[in-house]
């Protein structure tokens, strides 16, 4: 199974951009890169996903390396409500498995 590697924790100041990295060196050609986040006492929520091209939505941007072995989730202006654990996940196109790694705990300072 393709796995992901993320830093355990990161800190950011409020209103500043945040770049959350993820390494997935064993990714296969049909794996989608998904990002979810989990706020305290809640289930994970979808943030963004992509296959090869960079993606933008109202929550964040996803930058995918050309060789797809790494990606970066970008929060353009961190708020206190963005403090959460962020999971980078590979979703297998041919199957239904969705396996989570340890995630990155993002702390946002006012």
91 binds another protein (CB under 8 A): yes
C-alpha to C-alpha distance for 73 and 28, rounded to whole angstroms: 20
Q: Which of 45, 42, 2 is nearest to 24 (CA)?
A: 2
Minimum distance from residue 7 beta carbon to another protein (Å): 15
Tell me the C-alpha distance between 64 and 50, whole Å.
8
Q: Residue 74 and residue 38: Cα distance in Å, rounded?
A: 16
Only segment of 13-21, 59-67, 70-78, 86-94 that touches another protein (CB under 8 A)? 86-94
Give me the least distance between CB of 90 and another protein, in Å please.
10
Q: How far is Cα of residue 96 from the mean position of the Cα atoms in its chain?
A: 19
Site string for another protein, 28-47 (x = CB under 8 A): ----x-x-x-----xxxxx-
Backbone angles phi, psi at 14, to 5 degrees: -60, 145
Contact call for residues 88 and 3 (beta carbons, < 8 A)? no
The one segment of 10-18, 59-67, 75-83, 91-99 that binds another protein by CB under 8 A: 91-99
Kindly state the smallest distance separating residue 27's Cβ from another protein, in Å: 13
13 or 52, CB closer to another protein?
Answer: 52
Residues that bind another protein (CB under 8 A): 32, 34, 36, 42-46, 49, 87, 91-103
């Amino acid at each position: 199974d393709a796995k992901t590697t993320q830093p355990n924790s990161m800190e950011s100041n409020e209103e500043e951009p945040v770049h959350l990295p993820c390494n997935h060196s064993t990714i296969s050609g049909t794996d989608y890169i998904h990002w979810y986040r989990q706020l305290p006492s809640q289930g994970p929520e979808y943030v963004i996903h992509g296959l090869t091209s960079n993606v933008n939505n109202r929550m964040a941007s996803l930058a995918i390396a050309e060789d797809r072995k790494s990606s970066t989730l970008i929060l353009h202006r961190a708020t206190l409500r963005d403090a959460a654990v962020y999971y980078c996940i590979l979703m297998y196109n041919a199957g239904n498995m969705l396996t989570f790694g340890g995630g990155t705990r993002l702390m946002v300072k006012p």
